[in-house]
Structure 1
Amino acid sequence: ELSFDGRDITRRRTEERVRSGIGYVPQEHSVFARLSVRDNLAVGSLSNSDASAVDRVLAIFPKLGQRLDQPAGTLSGGERKMLAIGRAMLGNPKLLLLDEPTEGVWIGVIEEITERLIELAKNISVVIVEQHLDLALRVADYAYVLDRGRVALQGEAGKVRSDPELLRYLAP
């Protein structure tokens, strides 16, 4: 069973989950490659009547504003991730789910994405599945470390970071 905001959403369609306040950024294929950046954002804002929502996304990710007419498939990996996060934010989520937001992203852009996620996490709940440990523990208040599908460590992010057992799971 999958519950959100006190309601069973197990069998809800994707658009119903979005309307209930869940934003999702998948690991791969997170943008419509043939559509422009502008059109990708327009798709994300279909359920949002706030005309200034796109402007807020462009304020969070200013690089996107420089590429509005560019096909999304020609963006760098980091820019595609920013676009996918921005598009998800246009649904005004209460909960943002991110699957590997730094996969395929140049190390120099990871810091920018991390800073934006820290800011977003101040206002909404953010759940990240991430192998980039520094990003995950900087964004998270609470962390789970999985080992072969089971929870090996959990707790406040700072405590997990300083737990001597963590190294055992990072370098088996």
Structure 2
Amino acid sequence: RVRAGIGYVPQEHSVFARLSVRDNLAVGSLASKKADAVDQVLTIFPKLGQRLDQPAGTLSGGERKMLAIGRAMLGDPKLLLLDEPTEGVWIGVIEEITERLIELAKTIAVIIVEQHLDLALRVADYAYVLDRGRVALQGEAGEVRGNPELMRYLAP
């Protein structure tokens, strides 16, 4: 996947819990062609820079997601796939992750599977709403947000 230009952040078990933050980033940087790639990740997620020697398994849920996203970015992907990037994340950190994903989406393709509607529609240009595995709504993110049918699928 990395050689194909794809970065992937799974829903669960997205970091090496026993390794430090520094070592998790080192694993991700093995695929990087940029000498300053880790520094770029620490610029995007400065909280990680304060936790470099901390075991990744002791990070908060939000910090683990930031680490997983940062590690995926070290492969210099053209496409970033994120599965539930806000699951288990405190609401205050969701905003920070959302802002970073908005910035990343300006330079690479980002596909998010997410139940946190506000995040998904703020990051997305185009959105699909699935209902039991089928596409129930689709369109420009703003159109989907304003579609009166949306509430039917969110609150069945």
TM-score class, shorter-chain normalisation, is over 0.9
Is 1:155 matched with 2:104?
no
Match in the other structure for 2:12: 28
Deviation readout 1:124-163 (Å, 9 max, x if unpaired): 0000000000000000000000000000000000000000
Amino acid at match of 1:46: L
Normalised to the residue count of structure 1, the TM-score between the two structures is 0.90
1:79-94 aligned at under 5 Å gives the runs 79-94=63-78
1:1-172 aligned at under 5 Å gives the runs 17-172=1-156
How far apart, in 2, do the equivalents of 1:70 and 1:35 lie? Answer: 8
Deviation, 1:47, is 1.2
Deviation, 1:49, is 2.8
How far apart, in 2, do the equivalents of 1:46 and 1:142 lie? Answer: 33
**What is the number of equivalent residue pairs in this alignment?**
156
Listed as ranges, the gaps of 5+ residues in structure 1 are 1-16
Identity fraction in percent? 90
Across the aligned residues of Structure 1 and Structure 2, the Cα RMSD in angstroms comes to: 0.4
Normalised to the residue count of structure 2, the TM-score between the two structures is 0.99
